Amino acid sequence: MKAPNIVSWFGRGQVAAPPDIANAALRSDRFRLKREGEWRRLEDILARMERGGLRRISDADLIALPALYRTAASSLSVARETSLDAATLAYLEALVQRAWFQVYGPRQGFMRWLRDFLLGGWSRAVRALWLDICIALFVMVAGAIVGWLLVAQDEAWYYRLFPAGGGDPRVPGASRDALLATLATEESASGLSAFAAQLFGNNSAVCILAFALGFAFGIPSLLLLVHNMALLGVLLWLFNGQGLTVELAAWLSVHGTTELFGILLSGAAGLHIGRAMAFPGRLAVLDAAAAAGRRAAVVMVGVVIMMIVAALLEAFPRQLVDGTAGRFLIGGTMLTFWLSYFFLYRPRLADTAAGADAG
């Protein structure tokens, strides 16, 4: 059968359209008019996102975007099944393709991701682990106390807990001068770069291990925190015996406020995964572990940054800056910075995205 002369239908009204084509056109018009408002709203949101990213989008539009996309995709499916006019079909195909890219497509490049991570993403992930952080902090403090009490009752525990090498003056019975010499500064920065790299490797290994052990319901992560803090406890006991507690605290604070904070977050991240597996709630165990793992992974990316900072602080300022006050100033400044960033710095999601789009 010869196809109907559609050209006459799209002409200037001089030729009447066949009934079947007229019915199809009427059906297409009704279909479009019924849903056109949602299509136009979706198109407007997409246009603003393509011009200026999320900073141009209100919270209401951002929440409505997935639903509008599904509506447009459903309309496209109906249009294909019912053979609506080509113009409507082409419009919906283009609209759905644009919406898919904004909803499911790659969000941003590395630099934008990094800005979003530093300008709110990392701190939000840390705050999401607040309960695990509290538990890990309690365990770390308890570990330091346990280390102190063990060695106070029996000095043999010192050698079991503290890996002192041959010739290390930090042993029970050491003189005040010998212990004070271990807190002295270096005369130059020569060779400290290699020292910083070694420290970063050691610190990162502890953090990664604390995180990786979380799969066993978080118990190994907590035990690792206890062991590491027990080392600090025996050191505090040793230096306290010679009245050098303040000097040791100042020496440790230079890098310790960053390093210990990073270890705390690593243990909390591991515990977060273990706690999700032990108490998955309504989710399956693997689903709960996966969701917790994504949050913890964001925290661990930041921990790597903290370990780099801690290694640099330990290798340079700690070795070159003399005086208790100067060391406490550096350590206190770093602690204030981390606490402010994680718990006081709370940009809105839209502001974070705007900062990323500005680049």
Give the pLDDT confidence score for residue 237 in this predicted structure: 95
Torsional class of 225: left (φ above 0), alpha (ψ -120 to 50), beta (otherwise): alpha
Domain ranges of the chain: 22-103, 111-357
CA dihedral 84, 90, 92, 94 (to 10 degrees): 170
Residue 358 has pLDDT above 70, yes or no: no
The segment with the largest mean pLDDT, out of 99-113, 138-152, 279-293, is: 138-152
Residue found by looking up tokens 């759905």 in the block: 96
Rounded Cα distance between 233 and 144, Å, is 4
Give the pLDDT confidence score for residue 290 in this predicted structure: 85
Under the banding of pLDDT at 50, 70 and 90, the label for residue 83 is: low
Give the pLDDT confidence score for residue 55 in this predicted structure: 65
**Helix axis angle, 245-278 to 130-153, nearest 10°:** 130
Give the pLDDT confidence score for residue 359 in this predicted structure: 38
Q: What is the mean pLDDT of residues 114-135?
A: 91
Residue found by looking up tokens 């496209």 in the block: 76
Under the banding of pLDDT at 50, 70 and 90, the label for residue 4 is: very low
Q: What is the mean pLDDT of residues 25-36?
A: 70
Give the pLDDT confidence score for residue 52 in this predicted structure: 66
Give the pLDDT confidence score for residue 236 in this predicted structure: 94
Rounded Cα distance between 202 and 209, Å, is 11
Under the banding of pLDDT at 50, 70 and 90, the label for residue 17 is: very low
252-273 CB burial, b ≥16 within 10 A, e <16: bbbbbbbbbbbbbbbbbbbbbb
Give the pLDDT confidence score for residue 328 in this predicted structure: 95
Residue 267 has pLDDT above 60, yes or no: yes
Which of 120, 124, 128, 121 lies closest to 292 in space, CA to CA? 128
Q: What is the mean pLDDT of residues 59-78?
A: 82
Under the banding of pLDDT at 50, 70 and 90, the label for residue 2 is: very low
Give the pLDDT confidence score for residue 49 in this predicted structure: 80
Rounded Cα distance between 139 and 133, Å, is 10
**Helix axis angle, 285-315 to 245-278, nearest 10°:** 160
The segment with the largest mean pLDDT, out of 7-21, 258-272, 306-320, is: 258-272
Residues 6+ apart with CB under 8 A from 330: 253, 254, 313, 317, 321
Structure tokens of 117?
Answer: 């991570």
Rounded Cα distance between 305 and 300, Å, is 9
Q: What percent of the chain has pLDDT over 90?
A: 34
Rounded Cα distance between 37 and 76, Å, is 15
Sign of the dihedral through C-alpha 244, 246, 247, 253:
positive
Rounded Cα distance between 39 and 70, Å, is 11
Under the banding of pLDDT at 50, 70 and 90, the label for residue 191 is: low
Q: What is the mean pLDDT of residues 256-277?
A: 93
Rounded Cα distance between 25 and 268, Å, is 62
Q: What percent of the chain has pLDDT over 70?
A: 80
Structure tokens of 233?
Answer: 């406890």
Under the banding of pLDDT at 50, 70 and 90, the label for residue 212 is: confident
Residue 229 has pLDDT above 80, yes or no: yes
Structure tokens of 335?
Answer: 């602690």
Residue 197 has pLDDT above 90, yes or no: no
Q: Which residue has the higher pLDDT, 316 or 139?
A: 139
- Burial of residue 307, with CB atoms counted within 10 A of its CB: 0-12 exposed, 13-18 middle, 19 or more buried: buried
Residues 6+ apart with CB under 8 A from 129: 265, 268, 269, 272, 295, 296, 299
Give the pLDDT confidence score for residue 34 in this predicted structure: 78
| Cβ atoms of 116 and 54 closer than 8 Å | no
Residue 8 has pLDDT above 80, yes or no: no
The segment with the largest mean pLDDT, out of 23-32, 135-144, 161-170, 189-198, is: 135-144
